């Protein structure tokens, strides 16, 4: 990691076309380990073409073994020591304050542009009824799929749906803790030493994997309602009762099939 950071920062420092740059992800949070990737964001002047700068950057790494993905402003590529680099190229007017920019590690900032963005990004996590209903509806949809796929013996689809139910519960647990969660379906750092979940919730998450489909649904539904009850109390969302009724209706319908 340190070797590549020095290489990248030297390139950025000496390149006048780059007006700002920062790390995101584990480097910015200062919790990277030997398995971490480099999440790099580069801001260039308006006269420079993104794809040209990106190609120039990728060519710095003579030990790359393959490029996983590439567009005119984004690339993911892997090096021969299995280190992965994820890089975006922006113009200044494409960056605006966001909760995802409140913890960046700034490498270069010629006119304090990134510093101002970072300052204005330090807002509390927003928890609204609309946000909770959107996530709740996703959870209920995946719950319905688990019954359908089990009846059809489509077990990969069934396991995927249960996985998403557990992921949505992690999403709600993070909101309940006042933390911005990952996007739905992203399991990054929900488990392991970098998780922000307490030991009780981590144990639930780990134990679910060992259960059969009936017990998995039962456990997940219980935790789903439990976290909604907490959020009702803290944020006046008032969606737990309605959600519990929906789950009861769905469960009863499929048990009678």
Q: 3-class DSSP state for residue 70?
A: strand
Q: For all residues of the chain together, what is the average pLDDT?
A: 94
In CATH, which of 1.10.1030.10, 3.50.50.60, 3.30.460.10, 1.20.210.10 is domain 2-120? 3.30.460.10
Q: How far is CA 134 from CA 32, 87, 146, 228, in A?
A: 32, 30, 19, 13
Q: Report the predicted TM-score, pTM, of the whole model to 2 decimal places.
A: 0.81
pLDDT tens profile 124-158: 788 999 999 999 999 999 999 999 999 999 999 99
For the record, the structure tokens of 33 come out as 């380990």
CATH 3.30.460.10-classified regions of the chain: 2-120
pLDDT band of residue 35 (cuts 50, 70, 90) is: confident
pLDDT tens profile 74-97: 999 999 999 999 999 999 999 988
């Amino acid at each position: 990691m340190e070797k590549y950071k020095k290489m990248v920062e030297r390139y950025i420092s000496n390149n006048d076309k780059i007006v700002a740059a920062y790390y995101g992800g584990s480097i910015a949070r200062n919790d990277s380990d030997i398995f971490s990737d480099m999440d790099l964001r580069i801001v260039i002047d308006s006269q420079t073409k993104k794809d040209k700068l990106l190609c120039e950057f990728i060519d710095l790494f003579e030990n790359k073994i393959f490029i996983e993905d590439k567009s005119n402003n984004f690339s993911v590529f892997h090096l021969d020591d299995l280190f992965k680099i994820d890089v975006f190229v922006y113009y200044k007017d494409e960056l605006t304050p966001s909760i995802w920019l409140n913890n960046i590690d700034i490498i270069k900032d010629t006119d304090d542009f990134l510093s101002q963005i970072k300052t204005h990004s330090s807002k509390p996590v927003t928890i609204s009824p609309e946000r909770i209903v959107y996530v709740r509806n996703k959870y209920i949809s995946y719950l319905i799929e688990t019954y359908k796929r089990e009846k059809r013996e489509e077990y990969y689809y069934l396991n995927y749906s249960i996985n998403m139910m557990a992921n949505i519960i992690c999403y709600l647990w993070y909101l309940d803790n006042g933390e911005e969660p990952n996007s739905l379906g992203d399991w990054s750092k929900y488990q392991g030493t970098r998780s922000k979940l307490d030991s009780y919730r981590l144990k639930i998450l780990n134990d679910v994997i060992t259960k059969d489909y009936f017990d998995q649904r039962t456990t997940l539904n219980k935790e789903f309602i439990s976290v909604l009850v907490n959020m009702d109390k803290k944020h006046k969302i008032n969606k737990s009762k309605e959600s519990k009724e929906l789950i009861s209706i769905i469960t009863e319908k499929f048990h009678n099939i």
